[in-house]
Structure 1
Amino acid sequence: MKKFLVLGVLFLLPIVAYLFFASGIHNFAKLPILEENIPELQFAENVQFENKITVLGFLGTTIEREGGDLFNLNQKIFKSFAAFNDFQFVYLIPETIDLAELERVKHELGLLVDLSNWHFILTPQENINTVFKSLKTPYELAADGGSPYIFIVDKKRKLRGRDDDEDYGVLYGYDSSDIAELSNKMKDDVKIILAEYRLALKKNNADR
């Protein structure tokens, strides 16, 4: 009797485990879509939102904001996910920026991380305004044309964030000067969206 019981457990356990994980794929929490049809970067050469998971920022002419935004992002977000080739940082920057200062900051940042998936795009302020307004958030650009808030745009050009955040209700963007917000919220949300795409890829491969 014990032999049959052991054999039954050994037979049923893999089936139960498979059903558990299979259902987990379908019930996996997804990062909410807050806005769709973010316009493509028509003014940027070789940098697009489509088919990339993008952290989008608006640097403004004040390159190093209080709190050292770029370096915070590198330490708390980018370094953890740098291995993903379809994960990129895109910063839109007014053409009036001090280019020497920008190059200095990029050089310092490049000493800490490979900048091949960081894109700093110089463009007229009108283009920056258009992209920022398309996000349809309650935030506004600062006087220097930038913002401390950064945003997650998925591979289909949809803005992702939280619709039930305990502090804000709807969380459209993440304050890059707030290390706690980057560590406790944004990092988790990037993990979710990357896992979402990995699971979708596995499912597609399994279906084939």
Structure 2
Amino acid sequence: MKMKKNIVLFVLFVLPIVAYLFFASGVNSFISLPTITKDIPEITSWKTLDNKQVKLTNKITILGFIGSDVMKHKGNFFNLYEIIYDKYKDFKDFQVIMVLPDGTQNQVQELLKLDIKKLGTHKGWNFVFASPNEITAFYDKLHLVGKLDNTLATPNVFIVDKKRNLRGRKGQDQKGTPEYKEGYSTIYVSDLYNKMMDDMKIIIYEYRAALKKNHNATREI
């Protein structure tokens, strides 16, 4: 009888508090993060500084477009590195991919040498290079409202799940206000910390739940 009473008390008082703390930790009211664009193209034909291939499939990816003026976005790299990348860098299936036009390789090497390496590891952080036409064609297939500038850059980064679906916010926020968010600004720390961090938690939770359902809960995502 006492155990039954404790269960009732837990359901009535403790559970609502836990739920409140979960949702109060961020601004996203979605339990599953909506899909903005399904099945975006793969990028295995593009090469890294080490002339290696990377792919989106089976990875949780933060995707960015840097353009031809790499140093202009240096501060944005630091924001993304410290707030998002540093938290998830040890997860097996997490990566950051930054897309740049061919010819910017030397700028990236300079950035790595002078700046990013000072922060620590950049495991799973990839810079890939393609022709301007390839970048424009790929970006167009993301079907986004925001556009690249004349250097093929945007300050926004995007969340892509393991099935190559671009994820974001589409629907209503907690106040019932219509909300649409396809990317996260690396300029504003508040956008990364309050919104992207919250949405990444949902993506991570989705895959952990899927692993548990498949009786593989001990595997890293």
Same fold (TM over 0.5): yes
Partners of 2:198 and 2:94 in 1: CA distance = 15
Task: Decide whether aligned partners of structure 1 residues 111 and 34 sit closer, same or farther in structure 2, where only a CA change above 3 A counts.
Answer: same
2:83, 2:178 → 1: CA distance?
A: 21
Q: Distance in 1 between matches of 2:163 and 2:126?
A: 19
SS at match of 2:196: helix
Deviates more, 1:69-78 or 1:40-49: 40-49
Cα deviation 1:109-147 (Å, max 9, x = unaligned): 122131120010111111211221111111111111111
- How big is each residue's C-alpha offset from its partner over 1:156-206, in whole Å with a ceiling of 9 and x where there is no partner? 000100013658821011111111101110111111101110111011117
Read off the aligned partner of 1:33 and give its amino acid letter: T
Establish whether residue 56 from structure 1 lines up as the match of residue 58 from structure 2: no
Whether the aligned pair in 2 keeps the contact of 1:64 and 1:70 (CA below 8 Å) is: no
Match of 1:176 in 2: 186
* Structure 1 stretches of 4+ moved >4 Å: 7-10, 165-168
Compared with structure 1, are the counterparts of its residues 95 and 7 closer, same or farther at alpha carbon in structure 2 (3 Å cutoff)?
closer
What letter is aligned with 1:41? I
- Given candidates 75, 94, 97, the residue that maps to 2:101 is 94
TM-score relative to the length of structure 1: 0.82
- 1:14-163 aligned at under 5 Å gives the runs 29-44=31-46, 45-65=52-72, 68-97=75-104, 99-107=105-113, 108-163=115-170
SS at 1:205 equivalent: coil
Aligned with residue 214 of structure 2, among 193, 198, 204: 204
Which one-letter code corresponds to 1:199 in the other structure? Answer: A
Pairwise CA distance, 1:65: 2.9
Percent identity for Structure 1 against Structure 2: 33
TM-score with structure 2 setting the length: 0.78
Query: Unaligned 5+ residue runs, structure 2?
Result: 20-29, 47-51
SS in 2 for 1:40: coil
